[in-house]
Chain A
Amino acid sequence: MPYTAAKPPLPETPEQLRARIPGWGADLDPADRPQVPRERTDLPNGAHWDFPERQPETYPRERSIEHEMLPPVFGTAQPLHGLSGRIRRYSYERFSEGRAAHWLLLIAADRVEAGGAHLRSMLTLRPDNPITETGILSEVRRHPVASRRGRPDVRHQVLDPLIVAGPWILGGLAAAGVVRALRRR
C-alpha cells in the first residue's frame, strides 16, 4: 500500500527467480550494461577519420534548414520529382522540423505522389493492382476468421478496406463522371 513506507512484497525471492529464469540478474550490476553511462567517449567504433569524406552530390539534395550544410553521407533513393517533389522541396526550404507545416506538407506530398504513381502505372505494362499489392490474397491461407476471433481491434480493421479502396472508388467515379460529361458534348 502506498499509504505506508513499505514496498509491497514480491511473490518470489531472488533465489527462486534465478532458478526459474535463465540469466536472471546477469546484468544486475549497472557496470555490465552497455548503456551505462548513456554517453561514453571510450567506445571503439572502427571510424578512421575526423570528418568523413564527402559523398558526391550528383543532384540538388534537399535538406532540413536546421542543417548548416549537407551532411557528408546521404541516401540517394527516390530523388525529388514532379509536383510532389516541388511540394517537398518547398517544405524543406521553408519550414524547420519544429513547424507542423513542414510535416503536414510532406504528408500531403506523399498522397500527391501516390495518386500520380497510380495514374502513371495505368499507362505501363504493370499497372498497380490493389488485390496483389495489399497482400489480401493471403487471407485465404492465414486463418482469417480464427485469427480475428475475440479481438477488439477488429472494430476498426473494417476501416482499412475503406482507406485502401476509397481513393480507387472515388477515382473511378470521377473518371466515369468525366466520360459522361464528354459524351454529353
Chain B
Amino acid sequence: MAASASGDARFTALSQPVLHGHGDLVLLPAEHLDPSSGVVTTGTFRMRETRAVRTLEGTRQHPAGHPTRRIHMRAMVYRGPYKVRVEEKDVPVIEHPNDAVVRVVRAAICGSDLHLYHGMMPDTRIGHTFGHEFVGVVEKVGPSVQNLQVGDRVMVPFNVYCGTCFFCARGLYSNCHNVNPNATAVGGIYGYSHTTGGYDGGQAEYVRVPFADVGPSKIPDWLDDDDAVLMTDALATGYFGAQLADIVEGDTVVVLGAGPVGLFAARSAWLMGAGRVIVVDQLEYRLEKAREFAYAETRNYAEYDDIVVELKKATDGLGADRVIEAVGAEADGNLVQHVTAAKLKLQGGSPIALNWAIDGVRKGGTVSVMGAYGPIFSAVKFGDAMNKGLTLRMNQAPAKRQWPRLLEHIQAGYLKPSDVVTHRIPLEHIAEGYHVMSSKLDGCIKPLIIPSQD
C-alpha cells in the first residue's frame, strides 16, 4: 500500500469536506458541518470560503481546534493540442449526495488519452484535467454514501455510471444514460473531454467520484497500487475485448496493437482457450513484450508489403477466426488515413487497424473493437464486413463487471498487471510523460503518474 501511515492518519482526522474557494486553506466553521456525514449543511454544495489561511503545507489543525482544509491541488491541465501543464486547481467538492472525493495515489496515461492530447476529441476544453485510470484513498463522502468510508483505499473504474438507468440495469455500465448531458451515444468517463460528460480526471491530486456507492471498489489488501490502477481500464478492457471476440477452444486470434490493452487482450485470449495468438504492431520493443508477456507469435507489419496477405498466409489462407482491434483512432500503416485522421482531424479516427481487422479475419469470423474513435465519420471498409458475414462487437468496457473474475485470475497467478508498466512519472513532469508516450520513446508501454504528495 503506497499511502503512508501519516497520510492515513491525516485523512482520518480530517474527515470533513473541502470547500471551494480562492485561498490555499479554508477555516471550516463547525456549525456548518454535519460531523456524521462530513457534509456542508447550510447553503449550496458549492460554498465560497469566508477566510483563507495560506500555507505551503496544505493542511493543518487550526489553533482553536477547527479543522483546516486544503482547497487547492496540483493537476494536469490541457492547454491545446500537444500541450499540457500542471496548474493549481480547486480541490473538487461534493456536488451530489452520492459523490466522493478521492485522493489519487496512482494514475496512468492511457493510449486513448493521446486522442485528447492530439486534439482529436471534440469538446476538449482548455483547463480540462485528463486521466481515467486512477486509484486512491477516499478523502470525503457525500451524505448518501453507504458503501465507502473516508480512508478506504479504492480503485475507480474509468466509467462514471449510476447503476439504475435502462442500460446500467442490464449491466451495460459503460453506456449509462444518467451521467453525460453532452452526448447520448457515449457514457460518462473521467477526464475524457466534455463529450464524455465533462468530468475532470485523475491525473491530479484529488478527483470527484460520482456515484461512490456504485463505481469504486475497495482494493484487496493483497493487491498492489500499481496492479490496481491497471484494473481500472487497461486490463479490464483487454479482458473484455477477448470476451467480445467470442473465442472458442482452438481459435486463431489476431490482436492488432501491442499496447497495454492489446497485450492484456492477447493474454486473455489464452484464458479463453485460444489455439494461436498472433500480435501485430510496428514497434519492435512492444512485439518483444508480446512474445514475453503474452506468449504470442508476432508480426511487425512494417516488414510486410501487405499485412492482410501475411495474416492470410499465416492462417493457411483462411484468415483469423477472431481479430481484436486494440489500436484505435491514431492507427498507423497507411499514410493518407493516418494523416487525414490523426494529424488533420478530418476523420473521427484512422481506421487502418479496423480495416485490417475486417480484411484479416475469416469469413463468418468476429472482430472485437477495443480501439477508441472520435464521433466523426471514419472511412471504414464496411462492404467487406458485410460480404464476409462478420460479427462486429465493440463497446467501452464496463470495467467493474470484469473485476471479480480478474481478481481470481490475478490471485491464481495467471497474470500480473503491472508487468506492462515501463515508466513512473511524477505529476509535475506529466508534460514529458505525454511526449514520451505519444512519441513512443524510451521503450514506453505504460506510464504511471505519481502525484506529488505520494
Contacts and interface: CB of A to CB of B under 8 A. Distances in A.
B443 interface: yes
Contact of B211 (A23, A66, A73, A77): A73
A21 B442 CA distance: 28
B431 A134 contact: yes
A157 B342 CA distance: 11
A26 B414 contact: yes
Given A47-B214, A53-B97, A110 B163 contact: no
Max chain A Cβ within 10 angstroms of own Cβ: one of B85, B168, B348: B85
A97 B183 contact: yes
Nearest to A131: B431
Given A34-B243, A139-B435, A52 B211 contact: yes
Interface in A74-107: 74-78, 84, 88, 92, 97, 100, 103-104, 106-107
Interface residues of B, number: 113
Given A1-B316, A33-B405, A107-B122, A23 B271 contact: yes
Nearest to B239: A34
Contacts of A103: 122, 348, 374-376
Contacts of A155: 335
Contacts of B210: 73
Contact of A8 (B180, B181, B316, B335): B316
Contacts of B129: 77
Interface in A124-175: 128-130, 132-139, 141-144, 147-148, 150-153, 155-157, 159-160, 163-164
Nearest to A45: B163
A52 B345 CA distance: 37
A56 B95 CA distance: 8
B402 interface: yes
Contacts of B96: 52-53, 55, 72-73
B98 interface: yes
Contact of B127 (A3, A52, A78, A136): A78
Nearest to B302: A152
Contacts of A110: 119, 122-125
B162 interface: yes
Given A24-B271, A41-B169, A133 B198 contact: no
A114 interface: yes
Contact of A160 (B82, B195, B332): B82
A117 B433 contact: no
Interface in B188-213: 188, 194-195, 197-200, 210-211, 213
A106 B348 CA distance: 13
B82 to A, nearest CB: 5
Contacts of A62: 181-182
Max chain A Cβ within 10 angstroms of own Cβ: one of B164, B181, B415: B181
Max chain B Cβ within 10 angstroms of own Cβ: one of A10, A66, A77, A128: A77
A147 B442 contact: yes
Contacts of B404: 34
A147 B442 CA distance: 6
Nearest to A108: B122
Nearest to B318: A2
A128 to B, nearest CB: 6
Max chain A Cβ within 10 angstroms of own Cβ: one of B147, B182, B409: B182
Interface in B64-87: 79-85
Interface in B358-408: 362, 374-377, 400-402, 404-405
B18 to A, nearest CB: 15
B170 A48 contact: no
A72 B83 contact: no
A17 interface: yes
Nearest to A10: B275
Contacts of B199: 75, 77
A35 B400 CA distance: 11
Given A71-B181, A142-B436, A20 B169 contact: no
B270 to A, nearest CB: 5
A156 B336 CA distance: 10
A52 B98 contact: yes
Interface string B155-178: 000001011100011111100011
B184 interface: yes
Contacts of A133: 79, 83-85, 431
B149 interface: no
Contact of B200 (A24, A38, A75, A157): A75
A129 B171 CA distance: 45
A25 B173 contact: no
A163 B338 contact: no
A28 interface: yes
Contacts of A129: 85
Given A113-B125, A118-B79, 8 more contacts: A3-B317, A33-B272, A36-B243, A45-B168, A45-B173, A73-B178, A138-B432, A153-B332
12 contacts: A23-B270, A40-B171, A97-B185, A110-B125, A114-B80, A114-B81, A117-B80, A135-B435, A138-B432, A147-B441, A152-B332, A153-B282
Interface of A: 1-3, 7-8, 10-12, 14, 17, 20-28, 32-36, 38-41, 43, 45-53, 55-56, 58, 61-64, 66-67, 70-78, 84, 88, 92, 97, 100, 103-104, 106-107, 109-111, 113-114, 117-118, 121, 128-130, 132-139, 141-144, 147-148, 150-153, 155-157, 159-160, 163-164
